[in-house]
Structure 1
Amino acid sequence: MKSRFVTIAAGLLAASCFSLSVARAELLTLKAISTPIALNIAQTAYDACLSQGYHVSVTVVGLEGQPLVSLRGDNTSPHTIENSLRKAYTSRTFRVPSGEFAQRVKDNPTSGQVHLANVVAAQGALPIKTGDTVIGAVGVSGAPGGEKDEACAKAAIDKATDQLK
């Protein structure tokens, strides 16, 4: 009888703790990249590379890694649009520049993360933040070497800083 009483008391205690946590549950308040901001970032990255003579494709992804804007530049190779998406998705997913992720893979080639869908170990994308919170990413593909792609992404984020507050 005593063990049954202890079991019932423990169950009631657990149920009341669960009820208290559910009662305090609130909706999340999230910031997200609007279409005008995504368009501005994509166009700025594209223009930054084009002004240097690089034909690139650009993709901006949102909070959950979903594509918001994709631009396939004139005279770009067919793979650049997919590559810009994968770079942006990688940067958003891991909340770091895609080049930093590429270095992690180089340092630990047995990491299974590189085999995840839409992830690529290549430089050229940067996370888009509001404060310290990552709300998306911009990926660029087509300039020679990933550092030039990344420089165009950085120019776009720098220009959009005031809009990301």
Structure 2
Amino acid sequence: MHRISTFLTATAIVIAAAPAFADNDIITVKQMSMELARDIAQGAVDACRAQGYQVAATVVDRGAAPQAILRDMYAPSFTIEISRKKANAVILSSVATSEFRKNRADIRQEMNHVTGILVLDGAVPIRAAGALVGAVGVAGAPGGEKDEACARKAVEAIQDKLDFAE
């Protein structure tokens, strides 16, 4: 009888605790809409175009999956790949590529040999209410600092929307 009582007590404890464990099995993740990603990419291309630069812009989500890709008419086709790899470097590091390059000069060359990553100036994080939701990479302007300025301008243009995201 004691064994049955112990078994039933242990079973009751496990069943009572199960909902607490199950609550952690499903998580909520913030993700940009396709429209927001498109607006950021368009903003980056427009910012560079206003300065006379033909670029490509790629917006990736927090898992580095491309959400929006735009290439200005005269930007070389390979700028698409470069912009994507720059954006991926932001997802890897959670900081702008210029900051990553400066902070981790010790591994920069090695990181450029990782498939899908390129540590060059030209990409910035996209944060919604403080959470990293993606990155935008730009390529094609004469210098990564110019690419990054266009990316930053695009994110800043919609930052209020990001700051108040639920």
- Same fold per superposition (TM over 0.5): yes
- TM-score of the two chains, using structure 1 as the length reference: 0.81
Deviation at 1:92, TM superposition (A): 1.7
Instruction: Report if the CA contact (8 A) 1:105-1:111 is conserved.
Output: no
Determine whether 1:58 maps to 2:57.
yes
- TM-score of the two chains, using structure 2 as the length reference: 0.81
Sort the Cα spacing of 1:153 and 1:110 in 2 relative to 1 into closer, same or farther, 3 A.
Answer: closer
Deviation at 1:25, TM superposition (A): 2.5
2:96 equivalent in structure 1: 97
1:31 equivalent in structure 2: 30
- In the alignment, structure 2 segments of 5+ residues that lack a partner are 1-9
Determine whether 1:116 maps to 2:114.
yes
1:4 equivalent in structure 2: none
2:102 is paired with a residue whose SS is: helix
Identity of counterpart residues, as a percentage? 38
How many residues get paired?
Answer: 149
2:77 equivalent in structure 1: 78
2:138 equivalent in structure 1: 140
Instruction: Report if the CA contact (8 A) 2:87-2:135 is conserved.
Output: yes
Deviation at 1:73, TM superposition (A): 1.4
Q: Give me the CA root mean square deviation.
A: 2.2
Instruction: Report if the CA contact (8 A) 1:91-1:127 is conserved.
Output: yes
Deviation at 1:30, TM superposition (A): 1.3
Task: Find the aligned partners of 1:23 and 1:47 in 2 and give their Cα distance.
Answer: 46
Instruction: Report if the CA contact (8 A) 2:108-2:119 is conserved.
Output: no
2:158 equivalent in structure 1: 160
Deviation at 1:31, TM superposition (A): 1.1
Task: Find the aligned partners of 2:147 and 2:63 in 1 and give their Cα distance.
Answer: 22
Instruction: Report if the CA contact (8 A) 2:31-2:133 is conserved.
Output: yes
- In the alignment, structure 1 segments of 5+ residues that lack a partner are 1-11
Instruction: Report if the CA contact (8 A) 2:121-2:147 is conserved.
Output: yes
Deviation at 1:138, TM superposition (A): 0.4
Instruction: Report if the CA contact (8 A) 2:98-2:122 is conserved.
Output: yes
Task: Find the aligned partners of 1:39 and 1:49 in 2 and give their Cα distance.
Answer: 16
1:138 is paired with a residue whose SS is: strand
Aligned ranges 1:1-20 → 2 under 5 Å: none
Task: Find the aligned partners of 1:110 and 1:161 in 2 and give their Cα distance.
Answer: 29
Instruction: Report if the CA contact (8 A) 2:111-2:118 is conserved.
Output: no
Sort the Cα spacing of 1:22 and 1:61 in 2 relative to 1 into closer, same or farther, 3 A.
Answer: same
Q: Deviations over 1:108-142 (max 9, x none)?
A: 04774443221111000000001221100000001
Instruction: Report if the CA contact (8 A) 1:57-1:141 is conserved.
Output: yes
1:9 equivalent in structure 2: none
Q: Which range moves more in the overlay, 50-59 or 93-102?
A: 93-102
